[in-house]
């Protein structure tokens, strides 16, 4: 008997855990799509439940996690530095690879300096909070990624700073909100470059113009834009030609850069300030030697082979067009993310199961990750998908979509 059952005289903090049954019900119906182990992953075709599956839901956008040079670099770093840095950058956790990667990233995105964090999620927490104080205001797009929302929340909780969320991509709403404060008040506009669920692109040119007009600083999270948009995959600021006007660019390594970690890039003095004031940096162990080595090798490949970016974008476009022509409700875009609106949870799970049985893995997003009754399939593509993989995705979607009455 669990301790929960023996203590049952009073209501308990954990009652909700014992009462939560939704995931069990979906599992019992055989259509639970989450936490599925991937047994081997050597390319766009992975192995799950012992069979080959076309991966159409990964963030491994340029397919570099399986690249021989990336793998070799991780092994070499492991041999030289061991498995962990066992400390934060501030104290005993800095190795030359951290500094090499920071210099290369800063150069790649067109900024003076960069600073690494141990995950992308942690990066927004490590950047936002140290830069704001009680009298400042953060302006955050309503659809920003959960890591930014968490970063805002930590800033608000620790400094009392004001957080104002503006309507998704509404420049009118953002301007109205910026204009409501005195010009000299501290303002920080924070936005995803590419929004992670629907793959749409922030209006960064307009945002940087508003920032200038209303005396605000800007931070863009380029998790889904790095390696996808801009010159050679340099991201959203490069796409709009506003790199100099975008104060800070942050990003994760877990997508294009084939690793685990994150970074922020900006003016050297701002990066130097963060190095000495960011709790998420100072009180957390630095990225492992192998993670950093993988990101360096991946970045070198992105820099030397920009054609991979073009291949990624055209692969996604092939499926976007194919699904639209078949009659699916596809959200338009030009990134690696191809969202298909389904609506009903059960139909979405049914489509997921049909695709999985046919040898294709995609992601299913249901409320609260989406608005109510707006379940969707979040497909994402890789530069390394071959035409036959993409054709099979469109063909299976069409067949199963017709069977389930979705199209
Ligand atoms: N920002 C965005 C926009 C993301 O989509 C993600 C991950 N999905 C993160 C940050 C977090 O990155 P990581 O997985 O490296 O923690």
Q: Which of 58, 124, 196, 238 is catalytic?
A: 196
Main-chain dihedrals φ then ψ at residue 206, nearest 5 degrees: -65, -40
Classify residue 284 by burial, with Cβ atoms within 10 Å: 0-12, 13-18, 19+: buried
As a whole number of angstroms, the distance between CA 117 and CA 372 comes to 34
Q: Residue 25: what pLDDT?
A: 86
pLDDT digits (tens, 9 = 90+) for 48-79: 999 999 999 999 999 999 999 999 999 999 99
As a whole number of angstroms, the distance between CA 394 and CA 375 comes to 19
**Ligand 1 pocket: which residues have CB below 6 Å?**
119-121, 145, 147, 192, 196, 221, 223-224, 252, 254, 262
Assess whether 402 carries a catalytic annotation: no
- For 236, residues 6+ apart whose C-beta sits below 8 A from its C-beta are 193, 194, 201, 202, 204, 220, 222, 225, 229, 230, 246
Confidence of residue 86 (pLDDT cuts 50, 70, 90): very high
Quote the distance between the C-alpha of residue 87 and its chain's center.
26
Which atom of ligand 1 is nearest the CA belonging to 195? 3
As a whole number of angstroms, the distance between CA 166 and CA 157 comes to 20
If you average pLDDT over every residue of the chain, what do you get? 96
For helices 387-403 and 307-326, the axis angle rounded to 10 degrees is: 20
As a whole number of angstroms, the distance between CA 7 and CA 214 comes to 57
| Token pair 């340029």: residue | 62
- For 174, residues 6+ apart whose C-beta sits below 8 A from its C-beta are 139, 166, 189, 207, 210
pLDDT digits (tens, 9 = 90+) for 342-356: 999 889 999 999 999
Asked whether 299 and 104 are in contact (CB, 8 A), the reply is yes
Assess whether 255 carries a catalytic annotation: yes
Assess whether 224 carries a catalytic annotation: yes
Asked whether 196 and 337 are in contact (CB, 8 A), the reply is yes
- Of all protein residues, the one whose alpha carbon is nearest to atom 5 of ligand 1 is 196
pLDDT digits (tens, 9 = 90+) for 110-122: 999 999 999 999 9
Choose the residue to mutate in 58, 59, 117, 120 for probing ligand 1, maximizing ligand atoms within 8 Å of C-beta: 120
As a whole number of angstroms, the distance between CA 293 and CA 72 comes to 9
Q: Strand ranges (DSSP E) for 216-362?
A: 216-221, 248-252, 262-266, 329-330, 337-343, 360-361
- For the chain, what is the total number of helices (H) and then of strands (E)? 16, 15
Residue 234 or 1, more confident: 234
Q: Residue 371: what pLDDT?
A: 83
Asked whether 113 and 265 are in contact (CB, 8 A), the reply is yes
Paired sense of beta strands 216-221 and 187-192, if any: parallel
pLDDT at 1 over 60: no
Tokens of 47: 């192995």
List Cα–Cα distances, 73 to 64, 84, 291, in angstroms: 12, 15, 9
Q: Which of 187, 255, 353, 389 is catalytic?
A: 255
Which atom of ligand 1 is nearest the CA belonging to 147? 10
SS3 content of the chain, % helix, strand, coil (to 5): 45, 15, 40
Question: Which residues is 138 bridged to in the sheet?
Answer: 163, 188
Q: Residue 5: what pLDDT?
A: 65
Which atom of ligand 1 is nearest the CA belonging to 192? 3
Asked whether 351 and 406 are in contact (CB, 8 A), the reply is yes
CA atoms within 13 A on the CB side of 255: 29
Paired sense of beta strands 248-252 and 216-221, if any: parallel
Q: Residue 124: what pLDDT?
A: 96
Q: Residue 6: what pLDDT?
A: 62
Confidence of residue 289 (pLDDT cuts 50, 70, 90): very high
Residue 366 or 208, more confident: 208
ipTM exceeding cut-off 0.90 for this assembly: yes
CA atoms within 13 A on the CB side of 109: 35
Q: Rounded to the nearest whole angstrom, what is the distance from the C-alpha of residue 126 to the centroid of ligand 1? A: 14
Tokens of 49: 């439940």
- Of all protein residues, the one whose alpha carbon is nearest to atom 13 of ligand 1 is 120
The DSSP element (H or E) to which 113 belongs, if any, is strand 113-117
List Cα–Cα distances, 204 to 57, 159, 226, in angstroms: 26, 27, 14
Using the 8-state DSSP alphabet, how is residue 11 labeled?
-
Which whole number is the average pLDDT over 297-313?
Answer: 97
The DSSP element (H or E) to which 376 belongs, if any, is strand 375-380
pLDDT digits (tens, 9 = 90+) for 131-184: 999 999 999 999 999 999 999 999 999 999 999 999 999 999 999 999 999 999
Q: Residue 22: what pLDDT?
A: 86
Q: Rounded to the nearest whole angstrom, what is the distance from the C-alpha of residue 394 to the centroid of ligand 1? A: 27
Question: Which residues is 343 bridged to in the sheet?
Answer: 375
Q: Name the 3-class secondary structure at 63.
A: coil
- For 55, residues 6+ apart whose C-beta sits below 8 A from its C-beta are 38, 41, 44, 45, 46, 361, 382
């Amino acid at each position: 008997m669990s301790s929960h059952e023996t203590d049952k005289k009073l209501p308990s903090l954990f009652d909700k855990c014992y009462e939560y049954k939704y995931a069990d019900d979906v599992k019992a119906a055989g259509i639970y799509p989450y936490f599925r182990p991937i047994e081997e992953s050597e390319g766009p075709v992975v192995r799950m439940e012992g069979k080959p599956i076309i991966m159409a839901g990964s963030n491994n956008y340029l397919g570099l996690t399986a690249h021989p040079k990336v793998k070799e670099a991780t092994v070499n770093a492991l041999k030289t530095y061991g498995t962990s840095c066992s400390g934060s950058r501030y104290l005993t956790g800095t190795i030359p690879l951290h500094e090499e990667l920071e210099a290369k990233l800063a150069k790649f995105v067109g900024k003076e300096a960069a600073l690494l964090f141990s995950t992308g999620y942690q990066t927004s927490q490590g950047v936002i909070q140290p830069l704001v104080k009680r009298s400042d205001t953060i302006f955050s797009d309503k659809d920003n990624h959960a890591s930014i929302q968490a970063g805002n929340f930590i800033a608000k909780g620790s400094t009392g700073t004001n957080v104002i969320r503006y309507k998704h991509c509404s420049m009118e709403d953002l301007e109205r909100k910026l204009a409501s404060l005195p010009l000299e008040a501290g303002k920080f506009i924070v936005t995803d470059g590419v929004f992670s669920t629907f793959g749409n692109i922030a209006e960064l040119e307009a945002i940087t113009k508003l920032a200038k007009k209303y005396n605000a600083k800007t931070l863009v999270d380029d998790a889904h834009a790095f390696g996808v948009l801009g010159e050679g995959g340099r991201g959203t600021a490069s796409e709009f030609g506003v790199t100099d006007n975008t104060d800070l660019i942050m990003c994760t390594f877990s997508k294009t850069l084939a690793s685990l970690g994150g970074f922020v890039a900006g003016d050297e003095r701002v990066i130097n300030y963060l190095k000495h004031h960011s709790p998420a940096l100072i009180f957390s162990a630095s990225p492992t030697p192998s993670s950093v080595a993988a990101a360096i090798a991946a970045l070198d490949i992105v820099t030397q082979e920009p054609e991979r970016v073009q291949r990624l974008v055209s692969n996604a476009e092939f499926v976007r067009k194919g699904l639209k022509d078949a009659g699916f409700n596809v959200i338009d875009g030009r990134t690696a993310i191809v969202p298909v609106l389904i609506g009903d949870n059960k139909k979405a799970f049914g489509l997921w199961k049909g695709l999985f049985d046919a040898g294709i893995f995609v992601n299913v997003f249901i409320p609260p990750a989406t608005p109510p009754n707006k379940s969707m399939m979040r497909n994402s593509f890789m530069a390394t998908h071959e035409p036959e993989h993409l054709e099979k995705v469109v063909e299976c979607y069409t067949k199963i979509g017709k069977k389930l009455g979705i199209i």
